Amino acid sequence: MLKAYFSIRMRAAERSPELGEKHISGGERIGSKSQIEPIVSQLLNKASNHPRGDADFIQITVEKIACDRILYMPPLEVTTVETASIEDGRSEARKILTSVGVSKHALGVAFHLLGSIQNLRGAIILNSKTGLRLDDRGLKGIRVSRIDWQDANENLNERVREALALASKVANSPFTIAELCWSDDPDYVTGYVSNRDIGYVRITPLKMEGCESGGRIFFVSDEVELESYINYLERVPVLIRRD
């Protein structure tokens, strides 16, 4: 009998009549039936103790996954680049992304979006040449979902663990040219660029401490089949494991 797995997802927000919904936190895990309760507890703790504010709406979703639909893939290799300033960090990110085929125009669009949007709840998909936004989700964006590590004891801090799993799934698609990300958490200034060739390159700093703008940009090829690409990111379950 095949082992049953469950996708366990969390979304937390702060709501106000004046400002609408402010995104606070999100989380993605995959676990067995016996792991549901401790994972839910971990996600609730994350939602309740976050530097973006106090959540007054927390949603937990638990969904059974068909085991034969799970894809297994290795994590990207991790490297770190430390720079003297935000300007130097962004210059390094631009240089790396240009080297893998992202146009200067698309980079300009991406850096403007991540530097100005403060309530982006998912990722933005941009054409890597034209910089045209291809998804129509607005601030909701594309939420990469149904993702986790096969080995729960992977020796990484929680933030890198989650981001590396997500970046590895995104990079595995043949339509992904590269990813650019920095966190909207006000106390975290490190971001990353990634794809299958360069791996997961952490760059610090990429933003000013105290700033709440940030998010993820996925640069894609002209050949992207948008519907299937979004379905892969949001619906196909993936477990990351080392060979």
pLDDT of 63: 96
Query: Do 42 and 15 share a structural domain?
Result: yes
Mark whether 80 and 157 lie in a shared domain.
Answer: yes
Cα(18)–Cα(15) distance, integer angstroms: 9
Clarify whether residues 112 and 157 are in a common domain: yes
12 shares a domain with 78: no
pTM of the entire predicted model: 0.92
Considering the domain architecture, whether residues 76 and 64 belong to the same structural domain is answered as no
State whether 165 and 186 are in the same domain.
yes
- Structural domain range at position 158: 72-240
Residues of the chain scoring pLDDT < 70: 1-2, 16-20, 152-153
The answer to whether residues 135 and 52 belong to one domain is no
CB 88 within 8 A of CB 191: no
Last residue of a domain, one of 25, 51, 69: 69
**The pLDDT of residue 160:** 92
Q: Which residue has the tokens 């490297």?
A: 79
Structure tokens at 211: 């700033």
Tell me, yes or no, whether 118 and 177 share the same domain: yes
Q: Same domain for 139 and 217?
A: yes
- Using the 3D structure, point to which of 69, 89, 121 is the last residue of a domain: 69
Among residues 20, 43, 69, the one where a domain terminates is 69
- Confidence at residue 20, expressed as pLDDT on a 0 to 100 scale: 64
Same domain, 99 and 214: yes
pLDDT digits (tens, 9 = 90+) for 132-147: 999 999 989 999 999 9
Residues 12 and 46 in one domain: yes
Residues 44 and 32: their CA atoms lie apart, in Å, by 18
* Total of domains in the chain: 2
Q: How far is CA 95 from CA 51, 101, 221, 239, in A?
A: 31, 10, 19, 31
Q: Does 129 lie in the same domain as 227?
A: yes
Asked if 219 and 170 touch (Cβ cutoff 8 Å), the reply is no
